[in-house]
Every structure is written in structure tokens, then in C-alpha cells.
Structure 1
Amino acid sequence: MKALQYTAYGHSPVVNDIPKPVPGPGEVLVRVAGAALNPLDVKIGGGYVQAYFPITFPSTVGTDLAGTVEQLGSGVRGWNVGDAVITRTDPTVGGAVAEYAVVPATSLVPAPTTIPLEAAAGLATAAATAWQAVSEIAALKSGQKVLVHAGAGGVGSFVVQLAHRAGAHVVTTASSAAAEIVRKLGADEVIDYTSVDFRAAVSDVDVVVDSVGGETEARSLDVLKPGGLLVSLPVPPDFERAAARGLRAEFVFHTSDADRLARVVEVANEGLDIVIDRTVRLSGAADAFDYLAQGHAKGKVIVQP
């Protein structure tokens, strides 16, 4: 079978022919319908997160996949061949961007029925991270004001929707080209980050969800009301700097969690849009990986075998 693989840190991944995997005890072989690329995949391939997610080369790229159950390993109960499923694999294992993947049966969740199967892969990390940020860490409430940075991004697009569902007043930064996208997702106000300093456009914010980091994180403290919360997605925030200003800061360290993903699927079935920047075939996955690394994707990049 074909798979997109890292061959060395700092090198673009390549499509290789590798043996079709065989499920062991407690595992399931999934025929992949679609895999979603994430910024974490770029960080893993670049060697930036070796301390947290070491890999052994060659290693198949990707954690997020959707597909159908092809074969059951011994001892697996509760799943049948042909079931439509989604999952997020351990980042040190990867394996998503391939024609087939072996995953633990306990990591599987029934795929949503309202979304094309290949697109559902886009929920596994991005939507679940957004859920963690909005519902678990921020516990966003109706009437609160939230600023979402990069609202048209893979995670940001779900944060906007979940914050809107919670009844919050949603302000987001986005380019003018993406303004209509985020408005349709539920943004009440859109700030064009290419021409406007968001600090001049919004204030008295209860929660900032930041998927950008760096100077954006530092400047976000200026718009929070006393006791407000900064939720950081890319890296741990400067906790001491926030505390010194009477503010709170939290870091979303997202881990694979079937229970959380199942809740996300419930919400998706009730109505959750997946913004897809592009869908490519596996043969073009290396170029799609490099495109994602440039940081300008609006929504998810999906790879289909």
C-alpha cells in the first residue's frame, strides 16, 4: 500500500510503498477514506517536538483519519467489518495518511452521519481541541465575549462555531478574504488582522482563544477584562505575565480521547461545519504537507487515498 512518510527530521515527507498492516490483538484495520493534516504533523516532521512526540524513521504521517473497518484483530468486540469510524492515533505512532491504518479498537468512534466520511477526519484533532478549549477549559457561557484568533483556521473555525453555540458574542481575527467564511460560522464581529490592530477594535473580553502565539499572545492580554482568561493552543503561555496583570492563562495540551471525540461527533450530527481548504489525493500529499507548513490554510487539508 502507499503511505506518506517522514524519512528524516527536517525533510519533506514522501509517498512510499509499504506492506499493508495486520491488526494485532485489540486492534482494527481501517480502510482510510480520508486523513486530515494538522500543524502538529509539521512540527513532528521538523523535529520541533521530539521531547514530547519522538518517532522512528520511516514513520507514516498523520493522526486523524476516517474510514471503514476492514478487519478485526483477536478479542475485538463492538465493531463490525464495514462500520464507518473516525479516530485520532497517538502522534508517536501516526499512520493516518495511508491507504490502510491499524488502530486500537478503543480509540474508534462511530463517524458522524451528517458529514462525508472523508471530511469527517477533520474533526479528530481540530474540533476536539476546540471543544477542549471552549467547553472544558473556558467553560464559555451565554453572554460572554470571546476573541478567537485565526477564526478561519483549522481549529479556529471550530472554536467560532462552538463559542456561537454556547451563546457567546464572538469576535474573530481573519483576513478580508476569509471574513465571509467566519461570519457564516457564527462570528458576530470580524477584525482584519492584516490592516487593523485588534487591540483598537475590541476590549473587555472574557476569553481569548489564541492559536497564533508569540506577539499575538502578549497583545491579547491588553483586551481582556480583569480576571479574564487567555487560552493558548500552540505553546504554553506566559503564565506569570498574565498573573501579574490579574489575568488567567491556560494551555490546551490535546491528547487522543475517544470519549471527547464521541461528544464532538454528537455535536457534528446536530450541525457543525468543517471548513475544507482543499482535498488532495495521496499521490499529492507531500505537496499538501508543504502547503500546510506555510500556515495559510483556511480550514482543513484532507488527503484521500
Structure 2
Amino acid sequence: MKAFIVNQYSKKDRLQLAEMPEPVLHDNDVLIQVYAAGVNLLDSKIRNGEFKLILPYKTPFVLGHDVAGVVVKVGPRVQQFKVGDEVYARPADHRIGTFAEFIAINEKDVAIKPQRLTMEEAASIPLVGLTAWQALIEKANLKKGQKVFIQAGSGGVGTFAIQLAKHMGATVATTTSTANIDLVQRLGADIVIDYKKDDFEKMLKDYDVVLNSQDAKTLEKSLRVLKPGGKLISISGPPDPGFSIEIGSPWYVRLIMRLLSYRIRKKAKRLQVSYAFLFMRANGSQLNEITSLINAGIIRPVVDKVFPFEATNDALTYIEKGRAKGKVVVRVK
């Protein structure tokens, strides 16, 4: 099969289009013919080697974290899916590889594709949808009437998280550029801050939850918009001790993560708020919940641009510029 692979960790090297063997199908796996694959900043960071400490992939490996396609083969123990099913998924860590013609995924990480979505729209959902779900519902335990600040509202995670938070009955504040104010308002944002003109720290106070996706400076400022007991959840780091335990890191990696997050955890404690790092995980049952919201018209995908499979490197370059509205997708079939 054709696939885009990482030959070596590098910020300069492009992905290589190569012939790779068809994935090995385990007993609980479904083999999916890839119709479309979402492109994420995570792909770029893994290619660059930024996550080698927590996700050490052996090169060469196929990149890609979002998929929509059709089941073409099932393992002998598969119970939930059959050949011909239209599905979507975020494959588990160490089993990624959606920038390819086929991928094998454990059935527990797969869900039936939302009926009302195209393959390209469906491929835009899994990683950002699961990130928002696990941040707002699992970690933040967001409740009706609470206030949540979602950074970068016009980005992939932001466009999904705004809609999810509004569905849950929260008041939503977000940041974006002037050009995207209308977009985030249509998605449901109550308070929109043009980050090029205004400082969110001066405009927001007493928030229950912040979903941070930006740099270290923004992370520290975010602590100060929370009320006592508030929760800061970051998807851009630094990793904390709880995360190192969650992924079963060896002792020396746990020590490194403890040191990396020491400063922000200390400041959070002083302000009587909590800090947690989220590195989303594959979860088919949560995707099923998301599917229900999409089929009901409560959440809709926001797709900025669809690239042909051959232009996967161009798609990665495009998202690295940080200007995409919603998600970028590669059409494989």
C-alpha cells in the first residue's frame, strides 16, 4: 500500500511517500480502507521529535491520527463491526498511521461514521472531538451555568470545544483574530476576544475552567482568570506527574515531567486552582457519544481545506502556519 512515512525525526525533512506492507490484522482489529485522514499539529510535532520522550516511535513509521473509511476485513474476535461498515476513529498511540491506504485499528477505538457527514468531514472529528470531550467532560466535569475559557476558538479543538461547552450549558469565552470573530460567534461563543487587540487576562475573571492550547506565557496568564477551585487543563503542556503515571512512564521520565511542570503547578497551588495536562487517548465509546451529537445537529464539523493524498506534506505545512479555520483533511480515496 502507499503511505507517507517518517524516515527520521526532523523538522526539515518532509514525509516520504513509500510502498509499505498492508497492516497486520490482530484478532480484535478491523482493517479500514482509508477514504480521508485528518491532519493535526500533533502529526507535525511527532515528526519533529517533540514527543519522543512519551511516544518513542521506531522509524520508519506511518504518520496520521484521524481516519474515516470503510471496513474491508475483520479479525476473528471482532463483534461490533462487519465488512462494509463506514467508520471513523483516532487510532491508539503506537498504532497510528492514517496517512496510508489502509490501517488496522482495535475495534474498541472505532465508531460508526455519523450519517450526515461526508468522509472528509468525519475524518476531521476524532482527535479534536475526543480532546474536547476528555478535557471538558472527563477532567473539568463542566456543569451547566459554569464559565469556560477556550483559547484559539477558530482552531480544530476550539471549534469543537465551543459547541460542546454550549451544549452543556456553559458560558463560553474564546480568543481569535478579527477575521474569525463571526465564525466563533456562530458556533456559540458568548464572549469573543480579538487577541491582536485585547488582553484576555484583563477582560476575564472568576472562570471555572480554562482549556489552554497556547504557549507558556499564555498558560501562566490563564491561571489568573480562574476563580479559587477553578481548573486549568492544558493540551500543549507541560506534562504533569499525573499524566506520567497514567501512561506508565519509567521513574526517570516521571521525574522529568515532575520537574517540567513544577513551576506551573506551584503557581496554581498558590492561586488555589488546579493544573492538569491532557494528552487525549483513543476511545470508541466516546466517539459514539460524539456521533449522537453530530447526527442530532448539535455539533457540526468545521473543515478549512481538503488536500489530495499526494499533497499530504503541503497539508502539514498549511496547518503549521496556524491559520486554519477548523480542520485540514487529506482525501485518500
Provide TM-score, normalisation by structure 2. Answer: 0.87
24 and 168 in structure 1: CA distance in 2 versus 1, 3 angstrom threshold: closer
Q: Return 5+ residue gaps in structure 2 as ranges.
A: 239-260
Residue 309 of structure 2 aligns with which residue?
Answer: 282
For 1:264, the aligned partner's letter is: I
**CA deviations over 1:153-194 (Å, ceiling 9, x no partner):** 111111111111111111100011111111111001110001
For 2:51, the aligned partner's letter is: V
Q: Return 5+ residue gaps in structure 1 as ranges.
A: none
Looking at structure 2, the residues matched to 149 and 266 of structure 1 have their Cα atoms a distance apart, in angstroms, of 25
Q: Secondary structure at the match of 1:220?
A: helix
Residue 245 of structure 2 aligns with which residue?
Answer: none
For 2:8, the aligned partner's letter is: A
Q: 2:88 aligns with which of 86, 111, 123?
A: 86
More deviation, 126-135/247-256: 247-256
Q: 1:266 aligns with which of 292, 307, 312?
A: 292
Q: 2:168 aligns with which of 140, 151, 166?
A: 166
Looking at structure 2, the residues matched to 289 and 69 of structure 1 have their Cα atoms a distance apart, in angstroms, of 26
TM-superposed deviation, 1:106: 2.9
Residue 243 of structure 2 aligns with which residue?
Answer: none
Contact 1:67–1:118, Cα closer than 8 Å, also in 2 = no
**CA deviations over 1:58-116 (Å, ceiling 9, x no partner):** 21111210111112233333321110111111232311011211222332211111211
Matches within 5 A, 1:159-238: 159-236=161-238, 238=264
Identity %: 37
Contact 2:110–2:287, Cα closer than 8 Å, also in 1 = no
More deviation, 146-155/250-259: 250-259
For 2:265, the aligned partner's letter is: F
TM-superposed deviation, 1:259: 1.8
Residue 111 of structure 1 aligns with which residue?
Answer: 113
Moved over 4 A (4+): none
Q: Secondary structure at the match of 1:30?
A: strand
Residue 7 of structure 1 aligns with which residue?
Answer: 7
For 1:287, the aligned partner's letter is: D
TM-superposed deviation, 1:51: 1.7
For 2:35, the aligned partner's letter is: A
For 1:248, the aligned partner's letter is: S
Contact 1:213–1:232, Cα closer than 8 Å, also in 2 = no
Looking at structure 1, the residues matched to 47 and 285 of structure 2 have their Cα atoms a distance apart, in angstroms, of 28
**CA deviations over 1:267-292 (Å, ceiling 9, x no partner):** 22222111112111110001111222
Matches within 5 A, 1:22-171: 23-171=25-173
Contact 1:62–1:91, Cα closer than 8 Å, also in 2 = no
Contact 2:30–2:75, Cα closer than 8 Å, also in 1 = yes
Contact 1:55–1:93, Cα closer than 8 Å, also in 2 = no
Residue 251 of structure 1 aligns with which residue?
Answer: 277
Q: Secondary structure at the match of 2:97?
A: coil
Contact 1:210–1:231, Cα closer than 8 Å, also in 2 = yes
TM-superposed deviation, 1:22: 5.0
Provide TM-score, normalisation by structure 1. Answer: 0.95
More deviation, 134-143/167-176: 134-143
For 1:106, the aligned partner's letter is: K
For 2:320, the aligned partner's letter is: A
Contact 1:4–1:282, Cα closer than 8 Å, also in 2 = no
Looking at structure 2, the residues matched to 171 and 287 of structure 1 have their Cα atoms a distance apart, in angstroms, of 32
**CA deviations over 1:173-222 (Å, ceiling 9, x no partner):** 00111111111110011100012111222222221111113111111122
For 2:2, the aligned partner's letter is: K
More deviation, 224-233/156-165: 224-233
For 1:252, the aligned partner's letter is: L
Residue 328 of structure 2 aligns with which residue?
Answer: 301
Q: Secondary structure at the match of 2:95?
A: coil
More deviation, 241-250/23-32: 23-32
More deviation, 229-238/20-29: 20-29
Contact 1:59–1:93, Cα closer than 8 Å, also in 2 = no
Looking at structure 2, the residues matched to 223 and 244 of structure 1 have their Cα atoms a distance apart, in angstroms, of 14
Looking at structure 1, the residues matched to 56 and 62 of structure 2 have their Cα atoms a distance apart, in angstroms, of 13
Looking at structure 2, the residues matched to 42 and 154 of structure 1 have their Cα atoms a distance apart, in angstroms, of 15
